[in-house]
């Protein structure tokens, strides 16, 4: 910094500086040069960070969007197939109640009137089937999640 200040002083020799103010001028010029350099480095670092983030965002949008759509489709179909298999293993009454409740979005009261069961029996079937499916699919869902994280 000091060297640059002296070079600029030599380049501008025609400046009229008094010997008494030369010390103050040099100190102030070096201080200003240091401040300008720090500001420039800060702005440069901010620009590099913003440019890097923008580049990463553009890269991920361009290179990974198509692959992720395919992977998500495969994972979704695989998961749906496992859910269908798990539903088919439910007891006959539970399977009917489960499908009416979750797939046809019927209320417990509507299901009870359709099947001629009490509302509490329908609610018990829903609870039991949901618990059973959660247990059967827990390991599979964890594996799918881990694969998804690994490949994305």
Q: Is the pLDDT confidence value at 106 over 80?
A: yes
Angle at 29 between CA 23 and CA 32, to 5 degrees: 140
Q: Give the span between the Cα atoms of 83 and 140, in whole angstroms.
A: 10
- At the top level of CATH, the class of 89-152 is mainly alpha
Question: Does the pTM exceed 0.75?
Answer: no
Query: Binning pLDDT at 50, 70 and 90, where does residue 121 land?
Result: very high
Query: Binning pLDDT at 50, 70 and 90, where does residue 145 land?
Result: low
pLDDT of 123: 92
Residues 71-91 have a mean pLDDT of 77
What's the start-to-end Cα distance of the chain, in Å? Answer: 48
CB-facing half-sphere around the CA of 145: CA atoms within 13 A: 6
Q: How far is CA 124 from CA 60, 89, 94, in A?
A: 47, 17, 9
Q: Domain locations in the chain?
A: 1-67, 89-152
Which residues, other chains included, contact 123 with Cβ-Cβ below 8 Å and sequence gap of 6+? 108
pLDDT of 58: 75
pLDDT of 78: 74
Under DSSP, the state recorded for 152 is -
Token pair of 30, please?
């070096």
Residues 13-24 have a mean pLDDT of 73
Helices (H), 12-118: 19-88, 92-98, 108-115
Q: Is the pLDDT confidence value at 63 over 60?
A: no
pLDDT of 148: 59
pLDDT of 86: 84
pLDDT of 79: 72
């Amino acid at each position: 910094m000091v060297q640059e200040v002296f070079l600029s002083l030599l380049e501008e020799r025609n400046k009229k500086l008094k010997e008494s103010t030369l010390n103050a001028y040099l100190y102030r010029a070096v201080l200003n040069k240091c401040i300008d350099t720090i500001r420039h480095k800060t702005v440069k670092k901010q620009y590099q960070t913003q440019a890097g983030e923008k580049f990463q965002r553009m890269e991920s949008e361009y290179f990974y969007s198509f692959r992720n759509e395919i992977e998500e489709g495969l994972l979704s179909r695989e998961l749906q197939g496992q859910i269908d298999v798990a539903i088919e293993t439910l007891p006959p009454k539970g399977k009917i109640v489960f499908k009416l409740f979750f797939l046809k979005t019927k209320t417990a009261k509507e299901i009870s009137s359709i099947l001629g069961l009490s509302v509490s029996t329908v609610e018990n079937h829903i609870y039991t089937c949901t618990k059973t499916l959660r247990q059967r699919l827990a390991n599979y869902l964890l594996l799918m999640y881990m694969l998804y994280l690994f490949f994305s």
